[in-house]
Chain A
């Protein structure tokens, strides 16, 4: 289906009966793409003759597809390595248009206890409250955790602040004896494991890198770390004192 056909079908289902074709064409022309139309606030769409019900449906349908994809992940799913984790995160983050932070809690045998979105942000930033994350980890009795946040822009590359926040959280979780196994940056179907790519090896001592990461990932990480190999903690700025609320 083309973007126009999808848009017309959604508008029809939403009860936007009058001059459907004209409205759809006008919307695509004005906003440039179906994605942008779906992201537009209902009040803005109303100016083009889209009723509230159809405007809500435009925003609802992609979320329904994501909800259904998340439902497909069964509790107690075994997570063997970093690739398994990344695959699950990519599945639930697929199609997101804003930054989102996801938390995966695992039992002592690395089986899935919960996988939930813990924060939502804007197109370029997301607020992270360590206390909330710790609260959820404790509530589900996790033995291990993994995290992921999305870069809707399509670039799976951790920022300096991503690394700072990861390190802080990892320290907090270590103190609670709930190791953070990995924190992924997800962009579409691509991902970057922050602990592997941006921290010295002794920092991610909770897992055996040989079995947890594929050879390909470890090679990529070595290449990525190479320019900054001489300095300890290279590329990862120190955490400031005001480290409770940060934006990834």
Chain B
């Protein structure tokens, strides 16, 4: 590989890096087109071509909607490159229209939702006892992940894991639940310590830790909201997540339900 090829590959990596850092909203059309041409013409300086195409067709949309023949006539693009360039806009529109995230029905209150989830998993022979529920900023459920057995105090569990999973789904808030073998739904001192650690971490990175739910059979208890000294929920979210009345059929003061 000669120096000029190295230089071009370096340029392409730089442009891609620049895109990842700043996006294309403020870019000129020819720069966006140059980046797209990287995917159509493997090894060539495509900047002059990008300028020429924008000048001819007037805009990025104009270039991307041009026929392969028109692209060939104007710039001498071959069938392969023109075909790839023409495929970009339909693919981009399809990608934009694709459901951004899979959302679950959260009209079910969270206690009932967790009960049915655990029941279903156990019926399917799944033994995971700890689940992570990921929500967006309007508290729509984005996804459910299984965590290690033993809840947040299990060996090997790290708050970093929760953060990574939340980032993966672009979640704004998370809730963790653990299936308790004991009918007494009270968190251990160790769990409370980890909850505080998670709360501090999430505050720092801009995530909401909604609650930690202990569940046994049909009973469940929300743990975190009781720790008012360190774990206070945003008032509006509290209104969205929990019932006004609070309390479960067993009289557990910590159990409230999602709207």
Contacts and interface: CB of A to CB of B under 8 A. Distances in A.
B87 interface: yes
Contacts of A154: 103, 136, 138, 140
Contact of B94 (A1, A31, A39, A97): A1
Given A56-B20, A64-B88, A97 B39 contact: no
B206 A61 contact: no
Nearest to B63: A68
B198 to A, nearest CB: 17
A123 B99 contact: no
A36 B168 contact: yes
Contacts of B95: 6, 10, 34, 38, 58, 61-62, 65
Given A9-B91, A151-B138, A71 B29 contact: yes
B169 interface: yes
Contacts of A61: 88, 91-92, 95-96
Given A42-B20, A123-B171, A71 B206 contact: no
Contacts of A123: 136-137, 170-172
Interface string A1-34: 1010010011001110000000000000001111
A213 B171 CA distance: 35
Nearest to A40: B168
A44 B164 CA distance: 10
Nearest to B64: A68
Contacts, number: 149
Given A53-B16, A65-B93, A117-B25, A35 B101 contact: yes
Given A63-B24, A123-B170, A152-B137, A33 B100 contact: yes
A95 B100 contact: yes
Nearest to B15: A56
A52 interface: yes
Contact of B60 (A52, A68, A95): A68
Contact of B170 (A6, A15, A36, A67): A36
A154 B183 CA distance: 38
A210 to B, nearest CB: 32
Interface residues of A, number: 56
Interface in A119-160: 120, 122-125, 151-155, 157, 159-160
B187 to A, nearest CB: 27
Nearest to A159: B236
Contact of B102 (A32, A42, A72, A152): A32
A64 B89 contact: yes
Contact of A62 (B39, B59, B92): B92
Nearest to B134: A32
Contact of A65 (B23, B92, B136, B142): B92
Contact of B59 (A31, A33, A36, A71): A71
Interface in A157-207: 157, 159-160, 187
Contacts of B102: 32-33, 36
Contacts of B173: 124
A191 to B, nearest CB: 15
B143 interface: yes
Interface of B: 13, 16, 19-20, 23-25, 29, 32, 35-36, 38-39, 59-61, 64, 84, 87-89, 91-103, 136-140, 142-143, 168-173, 206, 208, 236
Interface of A: 1, 3, 6, 9-10, 13-15, 31-36, 38-40, 42, 44, 52-53, 56-68, 71-72, 94-95, 97-98, 116-117, 120, 122-125, 151-155, 157, 159-160, 187
Closest 3 CB pairs of A and B: A153-B138, A35-B100, A155-B138
